[in-house]
Amino acid sequence: MPPFMIQGILTSSLSDGLIYAFVAVGVFITFRVLSFPDLTVDGSFVTGGSISAIMIAAGYNPFLATACAVFGGLACGAITGLLNTKLKLSALLAGILMMVSLYSVNLRIMSGANIPLLREITIFQSIAQFLGTSKNVFLVIGILAVLTFIVFMVLNWLLHTELGLALRASGDNEQMIRGLGSDTDKNTIVGCSLSNGLVGLSGALVAQNQGFCDVNMGIGMIVMGLAAVIIGEALLRPRGVASMLLAALVGTFVYRLFITIALRVGLAPGDLKLITAALVVVALAIPYIQKKLRHEWIPPAVKL
Amino acid sequence: MDTKEKDSLLQLRNVSKIFSRGTIDEVTALEDINLDVYPEDFITIIGSNGAGKSTLLNIIAGVFPPESGGKVIINQRDVTNLSEYKHAAYVGRVWQEPKVGTAGNLTIEENLSLALLRGKPRGLRQSLNKQRYTVFLSALAPLGLGLETRLSTPVSTLSGGQRQALSLVMATISKPALLLLDEHIATLDPRTAKTVLNLSDMIVRQEKMTTIMVTHNMELALRYGNRLIMMHKGKIILDIGQQDKQALAINDLVTAFEQAAGEQLTDESILLSHR
């Protein structure tokens, strides 16, 4: 393979990896920190994208539009959390209902199935103009790297605060933390909001980077996020909050690397869902097979 | 009566609980319970299966409210309809299962930090700091289990007895008004059970904790505490104070039970503890 191709694969995996890492970190917060299997993601991703797209197309400041996308995502997560805690819908059902209803909401937000952003000023163009250059993949990687670093530091700090520790305890032992005086309903709502706010941010960045927002661009986002988290865990074996967050980032990059390579070797975009599923199976099976070979005790598979 | 009501730390008034009301499975778990618990009481509650011991503790802890008309008052405050997490400000609890009282994926210091903030708002301050660290050390050292040297170890790596000892410290470290011990040594092996029980007694004495301990074991109920309550079919059938309790033997308890309940004591788990 010629060097320019390898470089192309690496840069595109890196920019995609950084942009989708927010989804992976969001999925990490619900699935791993809260033990709340939240499927809202497929919907809230597009909600973030469509809010930013409609605002940018209407001439609003792209940074304001992106901030509104984050709040849109937060609101989606809050509703999922409320459905679960106040109306006692199961986490899975609450997420599925939100995912489905957000499809309609997103069509309403965009007044259609997609919005082009090719001639609009996105945050990438805006920063490029400010720096006196034009949008290119290295600039995108630079911007995303800074943003990822900030989000990583904030989350690492947050999960070590008193509130963050209560969130982590909610996912670990709900009965105990309630017995210690923490409102577990509130914890669930806060955690789901935080998660979907990050997913909304990712949707907004994806729409601005690819130059359009499409109502179907969220399909499979939850599986991608899970794949990234699981691959990261298989590679890094993280212990502690910081390394778990790092694993989600690394997992997203590795996942995008596989996807980019799959496309370059000639597989069709339609094959990507199957590849994603296969990656998850492999990442989950390897630790199991390793344990089996060492004759270690293996817990039975979770039924739900 | 009036002065006594003023002094009591926990008051239960006309507390009843009916489960599956209106179905063929309807069960009256508690029937018109009235109870005053005074500061520094160490009450042992004994009774056979289905006597209502756990339901009573659950109502005190706010897991569910009593039937309407019932009242739960802690520290002169009516907490009857407050949710469980708000009861937690007043009530520390150690459950039967060591796993219930601790978070396995978090470290010992993280668990203790969660417990230290019982009933307080949890904000954006860092959960671990030097000052808290010293509090943890002085809370764990008296246990004599070496846990103070393993503060950053995940709790899932501890043994059942160590986890239950940690639960006990977590239930008491922020000095809630009331400590509930819910058959907390029932799942431990005899030697560990003895250790945990002695630690419980030590902490209750040192911290002057007002305590309610539910047990299945008559001998323990007699040996520990200053007051013994026997429950049967949702009612309190015996309430014995310190002086009478000291003179009591297991056989007296069996006789007292049979007189009060008007039937033979048949629960094997209580009778077995004769030996």
Residues of chain B neighbouring A35 (CB-CB closer than 8 A): none
What confidence category does residue A152 fall into, taking pLDDT thresholds of 50, 70 and 90? very high
- Nearest Cα of chain A lies from the Cα of B131 at a distance, in angstroms, of 15
Nearest chain B CA: its distance from A249 CA (Å) = 22
Higher-confidence position of B247 and B190: B190
ipTM of the shown complex = 0.90
Give the CB-side neighbour count of residue A280, counting CA atoms within 13 A: 14
pLDDT at B49: 82
| Cβ distance of A176 and B86 shorter than 8 Å | no
pLDDT in tens, A59-93: 999 999 999 999 999 999 999 999 999 999 999 99
Contact call for A161 and B93, based on CB within 8 A? no
Average pLDDT, integer, range A14-25: 96
The shortest CB-CB distance from A168 to any of B61, B88, B106 is to B106
Query: Domain count of chain A?
Result: 1
Per residue in B17-40, pLDDT (tens digit) is: 999 998 999 999 999 999 999 999
Shortest distance between the Cα of B107 and any Cα of chain A, in A, equals 10
CA distance B171 to B139: 12
Does B265 score more than 80 pLDDT? Answer: no
pLDDT (0 to 100) of residue B273:
47
pLDDT tier, A287 (very low <50, low <70, confident <90, very high otherwise) = confident
Cβ separation of B89 and A181 shorter than 8 Å? yes
Assigned token pair, B2:
């009036």
Closest CA to A73 of A204, A249, A223: A204
Residue A301 lies in a domain: no
Instruction: Output DSSP code: residue A301.
Output: P
CB-nearest to A181 from B88, B103, B123 is: B88
Q: What CATH number does the domain containing A161 carry?
A: 1.10.3470
Tell me if A179 and B99 make a contact (CB, 8 A cut-off): no
Domains of chain B by start residue, with CATH: 2-272 (3.40.50.300)
Q: Which residues of B touch A172 (CB under 8 A)?
A: 103-106
Q: How far apart are CA A126 and CA A132, in angstroms?
A: 10
Give the gap in angstroms from C-alpha A164 to the nearest C-alpha of chain B.
8
pLDDT at B6: 57
Q: Domain span at residue A256?
A: 3-293
> CB distance B128–A160 less than 8 Å?
yes
CA–CA gap between residue B187 and residue B181 (Å, rounded): 13
Amino acid found at A197: G
Residue B258: what pLDDT? 81
pLDDT higher at B250 or A127: A127
Q: Which of the pair, B21 or B6, is modelled with greater confidence?
A: B21
At residue B1 the predicted structure's pLDDT band, cuts being 50, 70 and 90, is very low
Say whether pLDDT at B271 is over 70: no
Chain B hits for A178, CB-CB cut-off 8 Å, are 84-85, 88
**Residues near A258 by Cβ (< 8 Å), separated by ≥ 6?**
A275, A279
Name the residue among A255, A232, A254, A220 with its Cα closest to residue A45: A220
Q: In DSSP terms, which residues pair with B46 in a beta bridge?
A: B215, B230
Are B245 and B220 in contact by the 8 Å Cβ rule? The answer is: no
Q: Check CB contact under 8 Å for A173 and B120.
A: no
> Nearest Cα to A283, choosing from A216, A231, A223, A217?
A231
What are the chain A neighbours of B108 within 8 Å (beta carbons)?
A: none
Task: Give A184 to chain B, closest Cα distance, Å.
Answer: 8
C-alpha distance from B172 to closest chain A C-alpha (Å): 11
Residue A118 buriedness (CB in 10 A; 0-12 / 13-18 / 19+): exposed
How many whole angstroms separate alpha carbon A57 and alpha carbon A211? 11
Q: What distance in Å separates the CA atoms of residue A39 and residue A3, rounded to the nearest whole number?
A: 40
Q: Is the dihedral of CA A33, A39, A42, A43 positive or negative?
A: negative
Average pLDDT score over chain A: 94
Torsion of CA B229, B230, B236, B237, to 10 degrees: -120
Q: Of B61, B102, B122, which has the smallest distance from its Cβ to A182's Cβ?
A: B122
- In the numeric block, the tokens 């909610």 are attached to A170
pLDDT tens-digit series, residues A34-56: 999 999 999 999 999 999 999 99
List the single residue in A162, A176, A183 with the smallest CB-CB distance to B117.
A162
* Chain A residues whose beta carbon lies within 8 Å of the beta carbon of residue B93: 179
Q: Which of B101, B117, B126 sits opposite A176 (nearest CB)?
A: B101
Average pLDDT score over chain B? 90
CA distance B12 to B76: 11
The whole-number average pLDDT for the span A273-302 is 85
Mean pLDDT, residues A9-14 taken together: 92
Would you state the torsion angle of the CA atoms of residues B119, B121, B126, B131, taken in this order, to the nearest 10 degrees?
-50
Single-letter amino acid, residue A52 = S
Contact (Cβ atoms closer than 8 angstroms) between residue B180 and residue B56: no
Q: Is residue A300 part of a domain?
A: no
Chain B, nearest residue to A177 by Cα: B114
List, in order, residues 6 or more apart from B61 with CB less than 8 Å away.
Answer: A179, B84, B87, B88, B91, B93, B180
What secondary structure letter does DSSP report for B30? E
The residue of A32, A35, A162 whose CB has the most chain B CBs within 10 angstroms, and thus the best one to mutate to test that interface, is A162
Rounded Cα distance between B177 and B180, Å, is 10
Q: Say whether pLDDT at A178 is over 90.
A: yes
- Cβ distance A176 to B102 less than 8 Å, yes or no, reads yes
B28 sits in which H/E element: strand B27-37
Beta-carbon contacts of residue A242 (< 8 Å; ≥ 6 apart): A156
Radius of gyration of chain B from Cα atoms? 19
**Burial readout B100-131 (b: 16 or more C-beta within 10 A, e: otherwise):** bbbbbbbbbbbbbbbbbbbbeebeeeebbeee
pLDDT band at B248; cut points 50, 70, 90: confident
Contact B119 A158 (CB under 8 A): no
pLDDT higher at A114 or B7: A114
- B231, two tokens: 């429950």
Residue identified by tokens 């999922």 is A80
From B252's Cα to the closest Cα of chain A, the distance in A is: 37
Is A298 among the domain residues?
Answer: no
pLDDT in tens, A187-214: 999 999 999 999 999 999 999 999 999 9
- C-alpha span between A193 and A78 (Å, rounded): 5
Classify residue A304: in a domain, yes or no: no
Tokens 């930013």 belong to residue: A52
Interface test with A, best of B83, B84, B85 (most A CBs within 10 A): B85
Confidence of residue A151 (pLDDT cuts 50, 70, 90): very high
**Shortest CB distance from B125 goes to which of A162, A177, A180?**
A162
Half-sphere exposure of B264 (CA within 13 A, CB side): 2
- The pLDDT score that the predictor gives to residue B260 is 76
Dist CA B202 CA A39 (whole Å): 49
B110 to chain A: which residues are within 8 Å by CB? 165, 168-169
* Tens-digit pLDDT profile for residues B167-209: 999 999 999 999 999 999 999 999 999 999 999 999 999 999 9
Which helix (H) or strand (E) segment holds residue B190: the answer is: helix B190-206
Give which of A176, A183, A185, A239 to mutate to test B binding, by max B Cβ within 10 Å. A176
pLDDT tens profile B85-100: 999 999 999 999 999 9
Query: Rounded mean pLDDT of B148-164?
Result: 95
Domain assignment present for A299? no
From chain B, the residues in CB contact with A180 under 8 A are 88, 114-115, 117-118, 170
Query: CA dist B184 to A34, B99, B147, B255, Å?
Result: 27, 11, 19, 27
User: How is B195-262 classified by DSSP, letter by letter?
Assistant: HHHHHHHHHHHHTT-EEEEEES-HHHHHHSSSEEEEEETTEEEEEE-HHHHHT--HHHHHHHHHHHHS
How big is the A-B interface in CB pairs under 8 Å? 86
How many angstroms separate the CA of residue A64 from the nearest CA in chain B? 26
Predicted local distance difference test score (pLDDT) of residue B272: 46
Structure confidence at residue B274 (pLDDT): 41
Q: Which of these, A219, A200, A269, A255, lies nearest to A26 by C-alpha position? A: A200
| Best residue of B94, B102, B114 to probe chain A, by most A CBs closer than 10 Å | B114
Mutate one of A162, A173, A180 to test the B interface: name it (highest B CB count within 10 A).
Answer: A180
Is A73 contained in some domain? yes
- Tens digits of residue pLDDT in A101-131: 999 999 999 999 999 999 999 999 999 999 9
Instruction: Using the predicted structure, report yes or no on whether residue B16 has a pLDDT greater than 60.
Output: yes
Read out DSSP for A185-254?
A: HHHHHHHHHHHHHHHHHHHHHHHHHHTEEETTTTTTHHHHHHHHHHHHHHHH---SHHHHHHHHHHHHHH
A63: nearest Cα among A195, A211, A193, A204: A204
A127 in Cβ contact with A143 (< 8 Å): yes
In a domain, A302, yes or no: no
- The per-residue pLDDT for range B46-60, each reduced to its tens digit, is 988 888 999 999 999
- Position A41 scores a pLDDT of 98
In Å, the largest CA–CA distance within chain A is: 62
